[in-house]
Every structure is written in structure tokens, then in C-alpha cells.
Structure 1
Amino acid sequence: MSIALTPLSPTIGVEIRGCDLSKRLSDEDFRAVLNAYYRYSMVLIRGQQLSAEAQTAFLRRFGTPKISQRKEFHVPGVPEIGRVGNTKHPDGSPSAFLDRHGNLWHSDTASDTYLDGVTMLYCVKTPDVGGDTLFASSVNAYARLPDPLRDRIEGRQVTHNFNKHNDYLLAKNPGSANPL
């Protein structure tokens, strides 16, 4: 398979073309995807038609998936995948975990003791207007800090937790301190 890489911006992201994730990638092609992820921090692979099982098989090549605490939003029979969005069940209850107002930034599982190495998003349905997903590189931002500021924060730690929106989960996961 011939994988092509197109950087998306000067600081983060690459689009990968020439791979079909519904089939198992060769070890060589998977290494190319993995190396692109390490280099660009975010990978975009368009036009995939994936079953939940194919998503999980691809995800497992990166390591052991962490199962979300929000079990009510797992894909039935596939706990490695949680639904994110603003969809509802026929009774009006949420069928996916969502940001209620579309204005909350976050870093996936930053409050967990063991930080995720990879987060995978698979878009099933996009809205006609809005629905933007934005990415930023904290590594790049840190590297571009003025030397006096970087020196001032060197060695400090930051604690993330679910406090604002998920108090009932806080008891299960109080957050952990990590290098800033």
C-alpha cells in the first residue's frame, strides 16, 4: 500500500491517504501511521467506513484501550468505543456524551492517573453547519514560550479533574498531578 502524508498546518496535524482501516494494515503501513502520529501529534484519515470491531482492532494496535467511565455511552457490545455527540434516544435522554454548549475545550482523560497515548475519533455524522473539531499542540506551545516564562514554570505540575461538570465521577477519579 502506498501511504501519502500531507501536513495540515505548520504546528500540528497530517492527513494520511492511501490506507483502508477496514482491513488490517501491514506492519510497515501501521508503522508509517504511528510514525506520522508521533511526528505530527494528530492524524486525519478521511473516507473510512469502519465497523465498531474494525475501529477497535485498529485502536488495539496502539496498545491496550482504556474503557470510558461513561458506560451509558459505550457502543453496545464494544466497550472500547464511547459515543460523543448531541444525539438523543427516542425518550429524549442523551445517547452520546456531549459538551452541552459546544464551547468546552478539553484534553481527553487529562485527569486520569495514566494518561492516554492515543485518542481516536471516528465521525459518523456531521452537522450541516458548525461541528468544528479543533486541535492544538501543547508541546509546540511550550516550545514557543519566551525563555523567562518557560524558566519560571519549569518543574511545576498541573492537576486536571472532572470537578466542573462531573462531580459524581470525581470520587472515582480525583485527578492526578502531571508535569506542566
Structure 2
Amino acid sequence: MTITSHRFDAPAEALADGPITVRQLGGSLGAEIEGVRLGGDLGPGRLAAVRAALLRHKVVFFRGQHHLDDESHADFAELLGPLTTAHPTVNTGSARVLRVTANRGMAANSWHTDVSFVDRVPAISVLRSVVLPDFGGNTVWANTVTAYDGLPEPLRALVDRLWAVHTNSYDYAQRDEEHDQPDANYTREDFASQIFETRHPVVHVHPETGERSLLLGNFVKSFEGFGSTESIALFNLLQNRITKLENTVRWRWAPGDVAMWDNRSTQHYAVADFDHQPREMRRITVQGDVPVSIDGRPSTMVAGDASAYTRIDELIS
């Protein structure tokens, strides 16, 4: 078995079903994993190898997963932990699967960490391609751990104590003024049918790796202690450091592809450059913990109740 990461070692039993290769794609993040057939029957050794690669590389990609449907997709994701509902506000017609569709050249074309407007920010997202345009529609990820590590000391001293309010009223899906609705299936009213606001530390400690990571993205409404103009300037200063090209990896989708990312250490951006062609992806999300600041204080809800979003077992029992 070949694994480019030297920080996490896969168990020997992962070799039982053949070799696993983890090929690093970028200096900051991203790896392609070969030799793994995703599904609910993935053995514990191979699952451990996949999780180790995810923690090391932040986003990992699998080609040729044509066998997956919604059920087997969810069965695999559930091996990683309890699942959230599909979305806190949108009725997708499915308890766990969020259909992310577009037919007018738009997608989630804004940098964000998934569902950061609730207190329990999701841990892992698993996204599979269903319908792809003939061109465009790539997705880009950025590493929020290396962005923090690269901050100059005076700026780091500021953000270590800084808190931000995140809200879905700033949802990327509502910010495209060229279109009447954010998705081919859902309206702006769907996404904002219930308003959530949550106080998060700008720097949180990853619960598995102990790494410090910036928790920002375009759900951020404001920074505590700063006015609106100052918040915008500070947001742009920090966000630009996260999304500089050297800190990103870009994936060109093909049929059968699956991407899985650590939502606690990344942001992502789906590029809306495919004209009027249809594009459909399906996302299943693994529950996360409440983010905790460097000094041990947890995030808190300001508005809304997101408890149902992380209680899928009660909803589908």
C-alpha cells in the first residue's frame, strides 16, 4: 500500500482487499484515493485508511464510483459518523440527501464552510456527481488550517480572540442577484424559511487533529466588537488569505466521481461557468461537534433551533 501522508498510518488489515494508493494533488491539500470501492460494506481497516487520508489531506477524491446510489452513498457516509438531515431549512424530499442542482449556469459560487450558521457545524461532507455539464462546473477547496498557520503574529493575536456571527440570511444560495431562485429545485424562501444565527470563534480547535483552523466563509455576518464597514474589511483581509491560489486545489469532475472533505478545516467554491447546462450533485453530511475556541469556549446559537438537523435517527426511525 502506498500512502503519501507520513502523519497518519493505515492499519495493516486495510491490505486484505488489495492495495490502497493515496496520491497527493497539491502542496496545501487534496489527494486522490485509488483502490477503494465506497459503500456501507467498506471494511474497518480500509475505512481507517480513508479517514487518515482525509484528516491529512483535508479533501479526498474517488474516481469510478458508478455503483453508488442514494442508499449506498448514505450507507458509506454513515460509517464515518451519525448523519445530519439533508438541510436545516430545505425540504429536499429525502431525509438525508441534498440535491444540489443548477440549470442556469449557477452553483454554490461563493466561498463557504457548509452550514456554518448552526452551532454543530458538520464534520464531513460526501458529494457525488450525478449530472455533469460538458464543460465547467469544477469545485475548488481551500485549507483553513494552513491559512491560520500562515498569519503574521500581530494578525494571529487578533483572530485568536475574535468571534463572528454566522447566519443563513447570508447564505451563498441567496446572494446571486442575477437569478430569482438559488437552485433549480429550491427558492430563496426555502433557504431562508427559518433564520439561524450562531456565534463562532474565528479560530477553532479541530476535535480530531488538534489543529487550529479559521472558521469563516460567506455565511459570516459580522465580527463582534466591529462595525459593519470594519467587519467587511477584516473579513476580506482574512478570507483572501484562505483563498489564495497556493492554498487551494481544484477538481475537474467526471462521471462516477465522489469528493469527501473535512468541513472543519476547509472552505469550498463551486464554479458557475457552465452556461445553461444542467448540473446535479448529491451531498450527504456527517454530524460534527460544536466548535471550541483556543481558550475552550464553545459556539452558541443566537437565533433558531438546529437540533433537528443533527437528529436524523429520530426523524427516520
Range of TM-score over shorter length: 0.7 to 0.9
- Indicate conservation of the 8 Å contact 2:89/2:192, yes or no: no
* 1:84 counterpart letter in structure 2: V
Partner of 1:132: 138
Superposed CA deviations along residues 112-157 of structure 1, whole A, max 9, x for unmatched, are: 1101010111011221111010100111111111111111221211
Query: What do you get for the CA RMSD once the two structures are aligned?
Result: 2.2
Distance 1:154 1:69, change over 3 A: closer
- Indicate conservation of the 8 Å contact 2:89/2:190, yes or no: no
1:175 aligns with 2:197: yes
- Indicate conservation of the 8 Å contact 1:162/1:175, yes or no: yes
Whole-angstrom distance in 2 between the partners of 1:168 and 1:154: 35
Q: Give unpaired runs (5+ residues) of structure 2.
A: 1-16, 175-187, 203-317
1:144 aligns with one of 144, 150, 153:
150
How far residue 69 of structure 1 moved from its aligned partner, in angstroms, is 2.8
2:37 aligns with one of 16, 20, 26:
20
Give the 3-state SS of the residue equivalent to 2:140 in structure 1.
coil
* 2:64 counterpart letter in structure 1: G
* 1:115 counterpart letter in structure 2: V
Structure number with greater CO (CA < 8 Å, separation at least 6) is 2
Instruction: Report percent identity of matched pairs.
Output: 26
Distance 1:167 1:177, change over 3 A: farther
Whole-angstrom distance in 2 between the partners of 1:111 and 1:9: 29
Distance 1:102 1:108, change over 3 A: closer
Partner of 2:78: 60
Whole-angstrom distance in 2 between the partners of 1:79 and 1:87: 24
Residue correspondences, number? 167
Distance 1:101 1:39, change over 3 A: closer
Partner of 1:160: 166
Q: Give unpaired runs (5+ residues) of structure 1.
A: 89-98
Partner of 2:277: none
How far residue 105 of structure 1 moved from its aligned partner, in angstroms, is 2.3
2:96 aligns with one of 80, 88, 105:
80
Report the TM-score, using the length of structure 2 for normalisation: 0.49
How far residue 169 of structure 1 moved from its aligned partner, in angstroms, is 5.1
More strand by share: 2
- Indicate conservation of the 8 Å contact 2:89/2:193, yes or no: no
Distance 1:102 1:154, change over 3 A: closer
Whole-angstrom distance in 1 between the partners of 2:32 and 2:158: 36
2:63 aligns with one of 13, 26, 46:
46
Distance 1:120 1:101, change over 3 A: closer
How far residue 44 of structure 1 moved from its aligned partner, in angstroms, is 0.6
